[in-house]
Structure 1
Amino acid sequence: MHDLFIALLLGIIEGITEFLPISSTGHLLIAEHWLGARSDLFNIAIQAGAILAVVVIYWKRLWGMLLAFLGKDAPAAYDPLGQTATPAQSRDYAFKLIAAFLVTAVGGLLVKKLGWRLPETVTPVAWALVIGAVWMVLAEQLAARRAAREGERSAITWTVALLVGAAQIVAGVFPGTSRSAATIFVALLAGTTHRAAATEFAFLVGIPTMFAATGYELLGTLKAGGAAGEDWTALAVAFVAAAITAFVAVKWLLHYIQQHRFTGFAVYRLLVGLALLLWLPVGQ
Protein backbone atom coordinates (compact mmCIF):
# COMPACT_ATOMS: atom_id res chain seq x y z
CA MET A 1 0.00 0.00 0.00
CA HIS A 2 2.92 2.33 0.75
CA ASP A 3 4.32 1.82 -2.76
CA LEU A 4 0.92 2.57 -4.30
CA PHE A 5 0.67 5.79 -2.32
CA ILE A 6 4.12 6.88 -3.51
CA ALA A 7 3.15 5.99 -7.09
CA LEU A 8 -0.03 8.05 -6.73
CA LEU A 9 1.96 10.99 -5.37
CA LEU A 10 4.51 10.79 -8.19
CA GLY A 11 1.71 10.60 -10.75
CA ILE A 12 0.10 13.73 -9.34
CA ILE A 13 3.44 15.56 -9.35
CA GLU A 14 4.01 14.53 -12.97
CA GLY A 15 0.52 15.56 -14.04
CA ILE A 16 0.81 19.02 -12.51
CA THR A 17 4.34 19.75 -13.68
CA GLU A 18 4.50 18.16 -17.18
CA PHE A 19 2.91 21.13 -18.95
CA LEU A 20 3.58 23.95 -16.53
CA PRO A 21 7.02 25.38 -17.44
CA ILE A 22 8.62 24.24 -14.19
CA SER A 23 10.12 20.86 -15.22
CA SER A 24 8.32 17.58 -14.54
CA THR A 25 11.52 15.52 -14.74
CA GLY A 26 13.23 17.89 -12.32
CA HIS A 27 10.39 17.66 -9.81
CA LEU A 28 10.28 13.86 -10.11
CA LEU A 29 14.03 13.65 -9.46
CA ILE A 30 13.61 15.89 -6.44
CA ALA A 31 10.69 13.78 -5.17
CA GLU A 32 12.55 10.51 -5.79
CA HIS A 33 15.52 11.88 -3.84
CA TRP A 34 13.37 11.40 -0.72
CA LEU A 35 10.80 8.84 -1.87
CA GLY A 36 13.13 6.45 -3.67
CA ALA A 37 14.07 6.16 -7.34
CA ARG A 38 11.82 4.56 -9.94
CA SER A 39 12.71 2.90 -13.25
CA ASP A 40 13.17 4.84 -16.49
CA LEU A 41 10.07 3.07 -17.82
CA PHE A 42 8.02 4.28 -14.84
CA ASN A 43 9.11 7.89 -15.30
CA ILE A 44 8.48 7.94 -19.05
CA ALA A 45 5.20 6.00 -18.83
CA ILE A 46 3.66 8.49 -16.42
CA GLN A 47 4.78 11.29 -18.74
CA ALA A 48 2.79 9.47 -21.44
CA GLY A 49 -0.17 9.46 -19.04
CA ALA A 50 0.09 13.23 -18.80
CA ILE A 51 0.36 13.51 -22.60
CA LEU A 52 -2.88 11.51 -22.87
CA ALA A 53 -4.63 14.50 -21.32
CA VAL A 54 -3.54 16.64 -24.29
CA VAL A 55 -4.96 14.05 -26.69
CA VAL A 56 -8.32 14.29 -24.94
CA ILE A 57 -8.30 18.10 -24.90
CA TYR A 58 -7.24 18.50 -28.52
CA TRP A 59 -8.88 15.42 -30.01
CA LYS A 60 -11.04 17.38 -32.47
CA ARG A 61 -8.04 19.33 -33.77
CA LEU A 62 -5.98 16.15 -34.00
CA TRP A 63 -8.77 14.32 -35.84
CA GLY A 64 -9.12 17.21 -38.29
CA MET A 65 -5.36 17.19 -38.94
CA LEU A 66 -5.38 13.42 -39.48
CA LEU A 67 -8.21 13.62 -42.02
CA ALA A 68 -6.54 16.54 -43.79
CA PHE A 69 -3.22 14.68 -43.81
CA LEU A 70 -4.95 11.69 -45.45
CA GLY A 71 -6.53 13.98 -48.03
CA LYS A 72 -10.08 13.52 -46.79
CA ASP A 73 -12.72 16.10 -45.94
CA ALA A 74 -11.86 17.47 -42.52
CA PRO A 75 -14.23 19.03 -39.99
CA ALA A 76 -13.75 22.68 -39.08
CA ALA A 77 -10.65 23.17 -36.95
CA TYR A 78 -9.63 26.30 -35.10
CA ASP A 79 -6.27 27.86 -34.41
CA PRO A 80 -5.43 29.47 -31.03
CA LEU A 81 -6.95 32.76 -32.26
CA GLY A 82 -10.30 31.08 -32.87
CA GLN A 83 -10.02 31.29 -36.66
CA THR A 84 -11.11 28.43 -38.90
CA ALA A 85 -8.22 26.40 -40.30
CA THR A 86 -8.60 25.08 -43.83
CA PRO A 87 -7.67 21.45 -44.68
CA ALA A 88 -4.51 22.77 -46.35
CA GLN A 89 -3.54 24.68 -43.19
CA SER A 90 -4.28 21.64 -41.02
CA ARG A 91 -2.15 19.47 -43.31
CA ASP A 92 0.72 21.96 -43.19
CA TYR A 93 0.50 22.09 -39.39
CA ALA A 94 0.57 18.28 -39.23
CA PHE A 95 3.71 18.14 -41.41
CA LYS A 96 5.43 20.61 -39.08
CA LEU A 97 4.49 18.52 -36.03
CA ILE A 98 5.97 15.47 -37.77
CA ALA A 99 9.16 17.38 -38.63
CA ALA A 100 9.60 18.53 -35.02
CA PHE A 101 9.05 14.98 -33.78
CA LEU A 102 11.57 13.52 -36.24
CA VAL A 103 14.24 15.99 -35.10
CA THR A 104 13.60 14.94 -31.51
CA ALA A 105 13.50 11.22 -32.35
CA VAL A 106 16.82 11.24 -34.24
CA GLY A 107 18.52 13.39 -31.61
CA GLY A 108 17.04 11.36 -28.76
CA LEU A 109 18.25 8.06 -30.22
CA LEU A 110 21.73 9.55 -30.66
CA VAL A 111 21.78 10.70 -27.04
CA LYS A 112 20.63 7.22 -25.97
CA LYS A 113 23.37 5.54 -28.00
CA LEU A 114 25.96 7.77 -26.31
CA GLY A 115 24.88 6.27 -22.99
CA TRP A 116 23.42 9.39 -21.40
CA ARG A 117 21.44 8.87 -18.19
CA LEU A 118 19.61 11.19 -15.81
CA PRO A 119 21.79 12.48 -12.93
CA GLU A 120 21.26 10.87 -9.55
CA THR A 121 21.81 14.13 -7.67
CA VAL A 122 19.46 17.09 -7.30
CA THR A 123 22.07 19.86 -7.57
CA PRO A 124 22.14 19.93 -11.42
CA VAL A 125 18.33 20.17 -11.39
CA ALA A 126 18.49 23.10 -8.96
CA TRP A 127 20.90 24.98 -11.22
CA ALA A 128 18.74 24.25 -14.26
CA LEU A 129 15.69 25.64 -12.44
CA VAL A 130 17.55 28.86 -11.58
CA ILE A 131 19.13 29.36 -15.00
CA GLY A 132 15.86 28.47 -16.70
CA ALA A 133 13.99 31.05 -14.62
CA VAL A 134 16.31 33.85 -15.76
CA TRP A 135 16.16 32.63 -19.36
CA MET A 136 12.34 32.53 -19.30
CA VAL A 137 12.06 36.17 -18.19
CA LEU A 138 14.58 37.37 -20.77
CA ALA A 139 13.03 35.30 -23.56
CA GLU A 140 9.52 36.53 -22.89
CA GLN A 141 10.72 40.13 -22.77
CA LEU A 142 12.47 39.73 -26.13
CA ALA A 143 9.39 38.04 -27.64
CA ALA A 144 7.13 40.82 -26.32
CA ARG A 145 9.37 43.50 -27.85
CA ARG A 146 9.37 41.69 -31.18
CA ALA A 147 5.58 41.38 -31.08
CA ALA A 148 5.23 45.11 -30.32
CA ARG A 149 7.59 45.93 -33.18
CA GLU A 150 6.34 43.50 -35.83
CA GLY A 151 2.89 42.53 -34.61
CA GLU A 152 1.81 39.36 -32.80
CA ARG A 153 2.19 36.21 -34.90
CA SER A 154 0.43 32.89 -34.39
CA ALA A 155 1.85 31.04 -37.43
CA ILE A 156 4.19 28.10 -36.91
CA THR A 157 7.03 28.34 -39.43
CA TRP A 158 9.33 25.52 -40.45
CA THR A 159 12.11 27.20 -38.49
CA VAL A 160 9.97 27.20 -35.37
CA ALA A 161 9.04 23.53 -35.86
CA LEU A 162 12.64 22.37 -36.27
CA LEU A 163 13.89 24.45 -33.32
CA VAL A 164 11.10 23.11 -31.11
CA GLY A 165 12.21 19.59 -32.00
CA ALA A 166 15.78 20.46 -31.01
CA ALA A 167 14.57 22.10 -27.79
CA GLN A 168 12.96 18.83 -26.72
CA ILE A 169 16.35 17.12 -26.97
CA VAL A 170 17.97 19.79 -24.80
CA ALA A 171 15.20 19.46 -22.22
CA GLY A 172 15.71 15.70 -22.12
CA VAL A 173 19.45 16.01 -21.61
CA PHE A 174 19.27 18.66 -18.87
CA PRO A 175 16.62 17.77 -16.24
CA GLY A 176 15.16 20.89 -14.70
CA THR A 177 15.10 22.67 -18.05
CA SER A 178 11.43 21.72 -18.64
CA ARG A 179 10.27 20.37 -21.99
CA SER A 180 7.27 22.70 -22.08
CA ALA A 181 9.35 25.75 -21.13
CA ALA A 182 12.09 24.97 -23.64
CA THR A 183 9.67 24.41 -26.51
CA ILE A 184 7.32 27.30 -25.71
CA PHE A 185 10.07 29.88 -25.35
CA VAL A 186 12.05 28.66 -28.36
CA ALA A 187 8.85 29.09 -30.39
CA LEU A 188 8.33 32.58 -28.96
CA LEU A 189 11.90 33.62 -29.76
CA ALA A 190 11.82 32.06 -33.24
CA GLY A 191 8.83 34.13 -34.34
CA THR A 192 5.60 32.64 -32.96
CA THR A 193 5.03 35.51 -30.56
CA HIS A 194 1.45 34.56 -29.69
CA ARG A 195 1.67 32.72 -26.34
CA ALA A 196 -1.32 30.43 -26.96
CA ALA A 197 -0.05 29.42 -30.42
CA ALA A 198 3.44 28.65 -29.12
CA THR A 199 2.00 26.73 -26.17
CA GLU A 200 -0.36 24.68 -28.32
CA PHE A 201 2.40 23.57 -30.70
CA ALA A 202 4.64 22.68 -27.75
CA PHE A 203 1.87 20.58 -26.24
CA LEU A 204 0.90 18.83 -29.47
CA VAL A 205 4.45 17.89 -30.45
CA GLY A 206 4.76 16.24 -27.04
CA ILE A 207 2.12 13.66 -28.03
CA PRO A 208 4.18 11.62 -30.53
CA THR A 209 7.39 12.38 -28.62
CA MET A 210 6.31 10.94 -25.27
CA PHE A 211 4.30 8.05 -26.68
CA ALA A 212 7.30 7.03 -28.80
CA ALA A 213 9.63 7.33 -25.80
CA THR A 214 7.30 5.16 -23.71
CA GLY A 215 7.12 2.52 -26.44
CA TYR A 216 10.90 2.54 -26.84
CA GLU A 217 11.49 2.07 -23.11
CA LEU A 218 8.78 -0.61 -22.89
CA LEU A 219 10.34 -2.63 -25.71
CA GLY A 220 13.76 -2.26 -24.10
CA THR A 221 12.42 -3.43 -20.76
CA LEU A 222 10.68 -6.46 -22.27
CA LYS A 223 13.75 -7.34 -24.33
CA ALA A 224 15.98 -7.18 -21.26
CA GLY A 225 13.57 -9.32 -19.27
CA GLY A 226 12.89 -6.53 -16.81
CA ALA A 227 9.10 -6.73 -17.06
CA ALA A 228 8.92 -9.13 -14.14
CA GLY A 229 10.67 -6.61 -11.92
CA GLU A 230 8.34 -3.75 -12.79
CA ASP A 231 5.48 -2.97 -10.41
CA TRP A 232 2.77 -2.72 -13.05
CA THR A 233 0.03 -1.93 -10.55
CA ALA A 234 1.95 1.04 -9.18
CA LEU A 235 2.75 2.16 -12.71
CA ALA A 236 -0.95 1.99 -13.66
CA VAL A 237 -1.94 4.05 -10.60
CA ALA A 238 0.67 6.69 -11.41
CA PHE A 239 -0.36 6.71 -15.10
CA VAL A 240 -4.03 7.39 -14.30
CA ALA A 241 -3.16 9.99 -11.65
CA ALA A 242 -0.86 11.79 -14.11
CA ALA A 243 -3.53 11.80 -16.83
CA ILE A 244 -6.25 13.25 -14.60
CA THR A 245 -4.13 15.93 -12.95
CA ALA A 246 -2.53 16.89 -16.29
CA PHE A 247 -5.98 17.41 -17.81
CA VAL A 248 -6.83 19.89 -15.05
CA ALA A 249 -3.40 21.58 -15.27
CA VAL A 250 -3.55 22.03 -19.06
CA LYS A 251 -7.09 23.43 -18.97
CA TRP A 252 -6.02 25.90 -16.29
CA LEU A 253 -2.81 26.92 -18.08
CA LEU A 254 -4.55 27.51 -21.42
CA HIS A 255 -6.97 29.87 -19.65
CA TYR A 256 -4.21 31.51 -17.58
CA ILE A 257 -1.93 32.47 -20.48
CA GLN A 258 -4.75 34.32 -22.23
CA GLN A 259 -4.27 37.18 -19.78
CA HIS A 260 -0.97 36.51 -18.00
CA ARG A 261 2.71 36.11 -18.82
CA PHE A 262 4.91 33.26 -17.59
CA THR A 263 6.70 35.43 -15.03
CA GLY A 264 5.03 33.71 -12.06
CA PHE A 265 6.45 30.36 -13.14
CA ALA A 266 9.92 31.89 -13.47
CA VAL A 267 9.70 33.23 -9.91
CA TYR A 268 8.62 29.79 -8.67
CA ARG A 269 11.54 28.11 -10.46
CA LEU A 270 13.99 30.64 -9.03
CA LEU A 271 12.75 30.19 -5.46
CA VAL A 272 12.74 26.39 -5.61
CA GLY A 273 16.16 26.26 -7.26
CA LEU A 274 17.75 28.63 -4.75
CA ALA A 275 16.14 26.79 -1.82
CA LEU A 276 17.57 23.49 -3.04
CA LEU A 277 21.05 24.97 -3.54
CA LEU A 278 21.00 26.47 -0.04
CA TRP A 279 19.57 23.47 1.82
CA LEU A 280 21.04 20.46 0.06
CA PRO A 281 24.41 19.13 1.22
CA VAL A 282 27.18 19.42 -1.38
CA GLY A 283 27.12 16.53 -3.87
CA GLN A 284 23.47 15.62 -3.40
Structure 2
Amino acid sequence: METGIRNPAVKIAFYAILLLWSVSVIYPLIWTVLDALKNNEQFFLGAPWSLPKIPLIWDNFSYVWKHYHFDRYFVNSFIITVGSTLLGLILSAMTAYVLARYPFKGSGVLYLLYVSSMMIPFILGLIPLFFLMNSLHLINKPIGVIFVYASSLLAFGIFVLVGFFKSLPKELEEASVIDGASHFGTFFRVMLPLSQPGLITIAIVNVLNIWNEYIVGTILINDPRQYTLPVEIAVMQKEMQYRTEWGPLFAGLLFTIVPVLIVYMVFQRKIASGITAGAVK
Protein backbone atom coordinates (compact mmCIF):
# COMPACT_ATOMS: atom_id res chain seq x y z
CA MET A 1 0.00 0.00 0.00
CA GLU A 2 1.43 3.35 -1.08
CA THR A 3 0.87 6.00 1.61
CA GLY A 4 2.80 8.92 0.12
CA ILE A 5 4.67 9.33 3.45
CA ARG A 6 8.43 9.77 3.00
CA ASN A 7 9.55 10.14 6.62
CA PRO A 8 10.51 6.59 7.83
CA ALA A 9 9.53 7.27 11.44
CA VAL A 10 6.14 8.62 10.46
CA LYS A 11 5.59 5.68 8.10
CA ILE A 12 6.41 3.18 10.86
CA ALA A 13 4.01 4.92 13.23
CA PHE A 14 1.36 4.93 10.50
CA TYR A 15 1.66 1.19 9.91
CA ALA A 16 1.74 0.52 13.66
CA ILE A 17 -1.56 2.35 14.08
CA LEU A 18 -3.07 0.38 11.18
CA LEU A 19 -1.83 -2.87 12.73
CA LEU A 20 -3.33 -2.06 16.12
CA TRP A 21 -6.60 -1.08 14.49
CA SER A 22 -6.67 -4.32 12.47
CA VAL A 23 -6.05 -6.41 15.58
CA SER A 24 -8.81 -4.59 17.50
CA VAL A 25 -11.24 -5.36 14.66
CA ILE A 26 -10.21 -8.94 13.87
CA TYR A 27 -9.71 -10.21 17.44
CA PRO A 28 -13.42 -10.08 18.47
CA LEU A 29 -14.35 -12.09 15.38
CA ILE A 30 -11.69 -14.72 16.09
CA TRP A 31 -12.78 -14.85 19.74
CA THR A 32 -16.38 -15.43 18.63
CA VAL A 33 -15.34 -18.30 16.35
CA LEU A 34 -13.30 -19.97 19.10
CA ASP A 35 -16.06 -19.65 21.70
CA ALA A 36 -18.60 -21.10 19.27
CA LEU A 37 -16.57 -24.34 19.34
CA LYS A 38 -16.71 -24.79 23.14
CA ASN A 39 -19.13 -26.42 25.55
CA ASN A 40 -20.31 -25.04 28.89
CA GLU A 41 -17.68 -26.99 30.83
CA GLN A 42 -14.87 -25.23 29.00
CA PHE A 43 -16.45 -21.84 29.77
CA PHE A 44 -16.85 -22.57 33.47
CA LEU A 45 -13.56 -24.40 34.14
CA GLY A 46 -11.31 -22.47 31.77
CA ALA A 47 -10.88 -18.85 30.79
CA PRO A 48 -13.47 -17.51 28.29
CA TRP A 49 -10.64 -16.36 26.01
CA SER A 50 -8.78 -19.70 26.06
CA LEU A 51 -8.49 -21.95 23.03
CA PRO A 52 -11.18 -24.62 22.60
CA LYS A 53 -10.26 -28.17 23.47
CA ILE A 54 -10.18 -31.09 21.08
CA PRO A 55 -12.62 -32.37 19.88
CA LEU A 56 -14.20 -29.14 18.74
CA ILE A 57 -17.93 -28.79 19.42
CA TRP A 58 -19.23 -28.37 15.87
CA ASP A 59 -22.67 -29.49 17.03
CA ASN A 60 -23.28 -26.00 18.41
CA PHE A 61 -24.06 -24.79 14.89
CA SER A 62 -26.57 -27.51 14.06
CA TYR A 63 -28.08 -27.22 17.54
CA VAL A 64 -28.75 -23.50 17.32
CA TRP A 65 -29.95 -23.85 13.72
CA LYS A 66 -32.60 -26.43 14.65
CA HIS A 67 -33.39 -25.89 18.34
CA TYR A 68 -33.58 -22.09 18.16
CA HIS A 69 -35.14 -22.18 14.66
CA PHE A 70 -32.41 -20.09 13.08
CA ASP A 71 -33.43 -21.50 9.72
CA ARG A 72 -36.73 -19.63 10.03
CA TYR A 73 -35.14 -16.40 11.27
CA PHE A 74 -32.49 -16.53 8.56
CA VAL A 75 -35.23 -16.71 5.92
CA ASN A 76 -37.12 -13.85 7.61
CA SER A 77 -34.02 -11.64 7.59
CA PHE A 78 -33.26 -12.57 3.99
CA ILE A 79 -36.79 -11.72 2.76
CA ILE A 80 -36.91 -8.41 4.63
CA THR A 81 -33.40 -7.42 3.56
CA VAL A 82 -33.90 -8.23 -0.12
CA GLY A 83 -37.38 -6.72 -0.27
CA SER A 84 -36.34 -3.51 1.49
CA THR A 85 -33.24 -3.13 -0.67
CA LEU A 86 -35.09 -3.61 -3.97
CA LEU A 87 -37.94 -1.28 -3.00
CA GLY A 88 -35.53 1.34 -1.69
CA LEU A 89 -33.44 1.16 -4.86
CA ILE A 90 -36.32 1.68 -7.25
CA LEU A 91 -37.87 4.51 -5.20
CA SER A 92 -34.59 6.35 -4.66
CA ALA A 93 -33.58 5.90 -8.32
CA MET A 94 -36.88 7.29 -9.63
CA THR A 95 -36.79 10.24 -7.22
CA ALA A 96 -33.15 11.03 -7.96
CA TYR A 97 -33.77 10.84 -11.71
CA VAL A 98 -36.57 13.41 -11.54
CA LEU A 99 -34.54 15.74 -9.31
CA ALA A 100 -31.48 15.49 -11.54
CA ARG A 101 -32.97 15.52 -15.06
CA TYR A 102 -36.29 17.36 -14.68
CA PRO A 103 -35.64 20.30 -12.33
CA PHE A 104 -38.71 22.20 -11.23
CA LYS A 105 -39.41 25.07 -8.90
CA GLY A 106 -38.48 23.91 -5.43
CA SER A 107 -36.57 20.81 -6.57
CA GLY A 108 -33.36 22.10 -4.98
CA VAL A 109 -35.12 22.64 -1.66
CA LEU A 110 -36.65 19.18 -1.89
CA TYR A 111 -33.22 17.66 -2.51
CA LEU A 112 -31.80 19.51 0.51
CA LEU A 113 -34.66 18.20 2.64
CA TYR A 114 -33.89 14.64 1.61
CA VAL A 115 -30.17 15.04 2.31
CA SER A 116 -30.65 16.88 5.60
CA SER A 117 -32.95 14.11 6.84
CA MET A 118 -29.89 11.87 7.11
CA MET A 119 -28.77 13.99 10.06
CA ILE A 120 -31.94 13.24 12.06
CA PRO A 121 -31.66 10.11 14.25
CA PHE A 122 -34.20 7.55 13.11
CA ILE A 123 -34.92 6.56 16.70
CA LEU A 124 -36.67 9.90 17.32
CA GLY A 125 -39.60 8.82 15.15
CA LEU A 126 -40.16 5.35 16.60
CA ILE A 127 -43.20 6.21 18.71
CA PRO A 128 -45.23 7.93 15.95
CA LEU A 129 -44.00 5.27 13.54
CA PHE A 130 -45.43 2.52 15.74
CA PHE A 131 -48.84 4.20 15.95
CA LEU A 132 -48.85 4.80 12.20
CA MET A 133 -48.01 1.18 11.38
CA ASN A 134 -50.53 -0.04 13.95
CA SER A 135 -53.28 2.07 12.37
CA LEU A 136 -52.38 0.56 8.99
CA HIS A 137 -52.51 -2.96 10.50
CA LEU A 138 -48.89 -3.62 9.50
CA ILE A 139 -47.57 -4.73 12.91
CA ASN A 140 -46.07 -8.24 12.84
CA LYS A 141 -46.09 -8.23 9.04
CA PRO A 142 -42.84 -8.38 7.03
CA ILE A 143 -44.28 -6.02 4.39
CA GLY A 144 -44.63 -3.31 7.04
CA VAL A 145 -41.00 -3.67 8.09
CA ILE A 146 -39.96 -3.60 4.41
CA PHE A 147 -41.82 -0.31 3.88
CA VAL A 148 -40.15 1.26 6.92
CA TYR A 149 -36.63 0.14 6.00
CA ALA A 150 -37.01 1.18 2.36
CA SER A 151 -38.29 4.65 3.26
CA SER A 152 -35.59 5.18 5.89
CA LEU A 153 -32.85 4.56 3.31
CA LEU A 154 -34.27 6.79 0.58
CA ALA A 155 -32.17 9.83 1.52
CA PHE A 156 -28.84 8.06 1.09
CA GLY A 157 -29.89 6.57 -2.24
CA ILE A 158 -31.04 9.93 -3.56
CA PHE A 159 -27.83 11.59 -2.37
CA VAL A 160 -25.68 9.10 -4.30
CA LEU A 161 -27.77 8.77 -7.47
CA VAL A 162 -28.43 12.44 -8.17
CA GLY A 163 -24.74 12.87 -8.99
CA PHE A 164 -24.82 9.88 -11.33
CA PHE A 165 -27.83 11.04 -13.30
CA LYS A 166 -26.48 14.58 -13.64
CA SER A 167 -23.25 13.19 -15.09
CA LEU A 168 -24.95 11.22 -17.88
CA PRO A 169 -25.12 12.92 -21.32
CA LYS A 170 -28.49 14.34 -22.30
CA GLU A 171 -27.97 13.03 -25.82
CA LEU A 172 -28.78 9.55 -24.54
CA GLU A 173 -32.24 10.64 -23.48
CA GLU A 174 -32.79 12.54 -26.73
CA ALA A 175 -31.79 9.51 -28.80
CA SER A 176 -34.13 7.32 -26.76
CA VAL A 177 -37.06 9.73 -27.30
CA ILE A 178 -36.34 9.86 -31.05
CA ASP A 179 -36.52 6.06 -31.08
CA GLY A 180 -40.01 6.30 -29.64
CA ALA A 181 -39.35 5.53 -25.99
CA SER A 182 -41.50 7.11 -23.29
CA HIS A 183 -40.10 8.76 -20.15
CA PHE A 184 -40.50 5.50 -18.27
CA GLY A 185 -38.88 3.56 -21.10
CA THR A 186 -35.94 5.95 -21.18
CA PHE A 187 -35.49 5.64 -17.45
CA PHE A 188 -35.73 1.85 -17.16
CA ARG A 189 -33.97 0.92 -20.41
CA VAL A 190 -31.26 3.58 -20.68
CA MET A 191 -30.63 5.66 -17.58
CA LEU A 192 -31.10 3.02 -14.89
CA PRO A 193 -28.62 0.51 -16.38
CA LEU A 194 -26.02 3.28 -16.77
CA SER A 195 -26.27 4.10 -13.06
CA GLN A 196 -25.31 0.55 -12.09
CA PRO A 197 -22.19 1.55 -10.05
CA GLY A 198 -24.29 3.78 -7.82
CA LEU A 199 -27.04 1.18 -7.52
CA ILE A 200 -24.55 -1.47 -6.43
CA THR A 201 -23.10 0.85 -3.81
CA ILE A 202 -26.52 1.71 -2.39
CA ALA A 203 -27.60 -1.94 -2.43
CA ILE A 204 -24.54 -3.08 -0.48
CA VAL A 205 -24.81 -0.34 2.14
CA ASN A 206 -28.54 -1.00 2.54
CA VAL A 207 -28.01 -4.74 2.91
CA LEU A 208 -25.41 -4.20 5.62
CA ASN A 209 -27.67 -1.79 7.51
CA ILE A 210 -30.91 -3.74 7.22
CA TRP A 211 -29.42 -7.15 8.01
CA ASN A 212 -27.98 -5.86 11.30
CA GLU A 213 -30.92 -3.63 12.26
CA TYR A 214 -32.44 -4.40 15.66
CA ILE A 215 -34.55 -1.54 17.04
CA VAL A 216 -37.23 -1.37 14.33
CA GLY A 217 -37.47 -5.17 14.37
CA THR A 218 -38.31 -5.18 18.07
CA ILE A 219 -40.85 -2.34 17.72
CA LEU A 220 -42.78 -3.62 14.70
CA ILE A 221 -42.44 -7.38 15.26
CA ASN A 222 -43.44 -9.13 18.47
CA ASP A 223 -44.52 -12.42 16.93
CA PRO A 224 -41.71 -14.95 17.57
CA ARG A 225 -42.35 -16.59 14.21
CA GLN A 226 -41.54 -13.31 12.40
CA TYR A 227 -38.31 -12.47 14.28
CA THR A 228 -35.20 -11.49 12.36
CA LEU A 229 -31.73 -12.75 13.31
CA PRO A 230 -30.68 -9.72 15.43
CA VAL A 231 -33.94 -9.91 17.41
CA GLU A 232 -33.53 -13.64 18.01
CA ILE A 233 -29.95 -13.11 19.21
CA ALA A 234 -31.28 -10.66 21.80
CA VAL A 235 -33.94 -13.20 22.85
CA MET A 236 -31.27 -15.87 23.25
CA GLN A 237 -29.20 -13.55 25.40
CA LYS A 238 -32.16 -12.89 27.72
CA GLU A 239 -32.83 -16.61 28.03
CA MET A 240 -29.27 -17.01 29.32
CA GLN A 241 -30.56 -15.65 32.65
CA TYR A 242 -32.26 -19.02 33.19
CA ARG A 243 -30.01 -21.44 31.29
CA THR A 244 -26.46 -21.06 30.12
CA GLU A 245 -25.55 -22.09 26.56
CA TRP A 246 -22.64 -19.90 25.61
CA GLY A 247 -21.43 -22.05 22.72
CA PRO A 248 -24.75 -21.94 20.83
CA LEU A 249 -25.03 -18.21 21.53
CA PHE A 250 -21.70 -17.52 19.83
CA ALA A 251 -22.64 -19.90 17.02
CA GLY A 252 -25.83 -17.87 16.51
CA LEU A 253 -23.77 -14.69 16.40
CA LEU A 254 -21.69 -16.17 13.58
CA PHE A 255 -24.83 -16.93 11.57
CA THR A 256 -25.58 -13.22 11.78
CA ILE A 257 -22.04 -11.91 11.20
CA VAL A 258 -20.67 -14.12 8.43
CA PRO A 259 -23.16 -13.25 5.61
CA VAL A 260 -22.63 -9.48 5.88
CA LEU A 261 -18.90 -9.98 6.34
CA ILE A 262 -18.72 -11.93 3.08
CA VAL A 263 -20.79 -9.29 1.27
CA TYR A 264 -18.54 -6.50 2.52
CA MET A 265 -15.30 -8.32 1.67
CA VAL A 266 -16.48 -9.07 -1.86
CA PHE A 267 -17.87 -5.62 -2.65
CA GLN A 268 -15.81 -3.25 -0.49
CA ARG A 269 -14.11 -1.64 -3.50
CA LYS A 270 -17.41 -1.06 -5.23
CA ILE A 271 -18.70 0.79 -2.17
CA ALA A 272 -15.89 3.34 -2.26
CA SER A 273 -15.81 3.68 -6.05
CA GLY A 274 -19.58 3.97 -6.32
CA ILE A 275 -19.85 6.78 -3.78
CA THR A 276 -17.09 8.85 -5.44
CA ALA A 277 -17.85 8.11 -9.11
CA GLY A 278 -20.87 10.37 -9.38
CA ALA A 279 -19.12 13.26 -7.66
CA VAL A 280 -15.98 12.91 -9.82
CA LYS A 281 -18.00 12.86 -13.03
The two structures have a TM-score, normalised by structure 2, of 0.31
- Larger relative contact order (Cα-Cα within 8 Å, sequence gap ≥ 6): 1
The two structures have a TM-score, normalised by structure 1, of 0.31
Larger radius of gyration: 2
